[in-house]
Amino acid sequence: MKSFFRRLRYNRLASTFTILATLSVGILIGSVVAHGVHGQEAKSTSKIDTSDAVPLKIPAPKDLSTDFTRIAKEVGPAVVNISTVQLPKNPTHSFNSGPFGQQGPDNGEDNGPNNFQDFFRHFFGTPQFGGQDDTSQERESLGSGFIVDPRGYILTNYHVIEKADKIWVRLSTDPDNGFMQGRPATVVGYDKATDIAVLKIKTDKPLPTVEMGNSDGAQVGDWVIAIGSPYTLSQTVTAGIISAKNRTNPGIAGQYQHFIQTDAAINPGNSGGPLVNMAGQVIGMNTAIYTESGSFAGIGFAMPSNTIVDVYNDLIGPEHKVVRGSIGITFQENLPSAVAHVYGFTNGVLVSSVQPGFAADKAGIKAGDIIVSVDGKPIKDGNDLVNNISARKPGSTIQLGYIRNGQHQTATVTIGDRSKMLEALNNGQGGGNGPSEGGGTENAQAKLGISVSDLPQGAPAGMHGVLIQHVKPGSFADEIGLSEGWVIVAINRHIVNNVNDFRAVVAGLKSGDDVAFQLVDPQDPTGGSRYVGGTLP
């Protein structure tokens, strides 16, 4: 038995040594073979005969020109690079927000200040690309522009040169060596409402210019190219199509922003550059992008050329400013459908307030009226009203069609100067009258999700209604946008003077009813009414 185990142990050891020996030989052979291969590769560079190899040749260039190539060559020389410097200043900030967000005053046809930054990203080309406005340090910005007059007149965006202390323009023929800033430019005029500015540079010879086109002829699906200086890269050309027309700003209430939407790549620094059609004509000015990252995301916006031409012609005039018409009302864009249903209209503009002493007031227009036509032409919405009225000269007259208490009426209105009416609105003052006593609203809390009280002591003169004290999270009131601190002056066109009136109206509401609230901000009683609404669950 012992001899059996001894033989077994011997055989196992012998097998182990045999396997190890075999592996060692394999490794050794692999090393020798690999060494042989490397040796062969090393020798190949000096031993192989390449006398039969034919040298490569650079062929004569082929003309592969396309419409894009032709347009870039034609338009490119008239596209300029604009750089600015803003010297350090004491920081000043001004904000105007309320329970419903940005709610700037309205002169009748402009439903708020031009505050693109709330929704769109302007693209200055600063290192921060739209970061915080720090005026304690010198700031540099970059944009684009295009020459429209051989004597040196240039169009660009106002936001490119806004607050600039020094402005330089570099032509396509100027050295691009990183040292030359360009030619000094002066501001001829600007229009904040459309974000358009006109610059002038001195020149001793005629400069190349672009050809302006008619933006009304542009169609969705048309090819377009954008030329500019994204991220300081001058004379950059990108191509795309027109994605949409008449795009308005959905984030704020600016009324002059009927953009051409395009998917041609535009980025910080493109701002102010031209959007060109396949005829080589400028049909827009690249103005803004829709993005969450600060860079191009497939949606860019250009101000239509027809607007640009009108503004340019005013800015080069003797007064160097744009004069727009106004009738002196305020209105609210994007009304909830429930509000329109309660007030009985599908197309038109619901007047929020009328500026005392100005055009609409003199013609007898009142808050709550619904403007439906101008000179017999139907008014679809606030944009239609803005376009129609603002294009008219102060002193001219119109026939304004409106609905009051379900009755169609007309009034002759003399157009006023928008800038003067806006100034009057900004300087408007509210009064104050006697206070009311507070009261409970348990039914409203259960049905609507709000509690209200009578107006407190010190309420503005002439103001009536109930003050919203509390809004229950997740309630009907919360979902439609009612906020604490606002005053309800009417519900479904029923005037609310106090809590008793409020209770009476609420008691008649039932599930499935459309409910429209007319509201006033007690801190801005002359700012006009706001309307919110929805269908009661």
Indicate the pairing of strand 281-289 with strand 325-326: unpaired
Given the residues 122, 141, 144, 159, the one annotated as active site: 159
195 carries an active-site annotation: yes
What residues does 398 pair with on adjacent strands? 413
38 carries an active-site annotation: no
Report the amino acid identity of residue 110: D
Report the amino acid identity of residue 502: F
Question: For 231-382, where are the E strands, in sequence order?
Answer: 236-247, 259-262, 274-277, 281-289, 300-304, 325-326, 329-331, 349-354, 370-374, 377-378
What Cα–Cα distance (Å) separates residue 188 from each residue in 26, 295, 321?
Answer: 86, 31, 9
What residues does 339 pair with on adjacent strands? none
- Tokens representing residue 448 in the block: 């609507």
Concatenating the DSSP letter of every residue in 370-405 gives EEEEETTEE--SHHHHHHHHHTSPTT-EEEEEEEET
Count CB-CB contacts under 10 A for residue 239.
18
Contacts of 429 (CB under 8 A, 6+ apart): 526
The Cα 181–Cα 302 span in angstroms is 27
Contacts of 147 (CB under 8 A, 6+ apart): 78, 79, 80, 153, 154, 207, 208, 209, 210
341 carries an active-site annotation: no
Given the residues 141, 215, 271, 305, the one annotated as active site: 271
* Nearest by Cα to 148 from 318, 315, 390: 315
The Cα 115–Cα 267 span in angstroms is 19
Go through the chain and tell me how many residues it has. 537
The percent helix, strand, coil of the chain (3-state, each to 5) is 25, 30, 45
> Would you call 461 helix, strand, or coil by DSSP?
coil
Q: Are 169 and 187 in contact (CB under 8 A)?
A: no
User: 28 phi and psi, to 5 degrees?
Assistant: -65, -45
Q: Are 467 and 487 in contact (CB under 8 A)?
A: yes
Given the residues 191, 195, 263, 454, the one annotated as active site: 195
What Cα–Cα distance (Å) separates residue 430 from each residue in 8, 24, 425?
Answer: 112, 101, 11
Instruction: List, in sequence order, the alpha helices (H) in 285-409.
Output: 305-315, 337-343, 359-362, 382-390
Q: What is the DSSP letter of 252?
A: S
Sign for the pseudo-dihedral over CA of 458, 459, 465, 466? negative
The set of catalytic residues is: 159, 195, 271
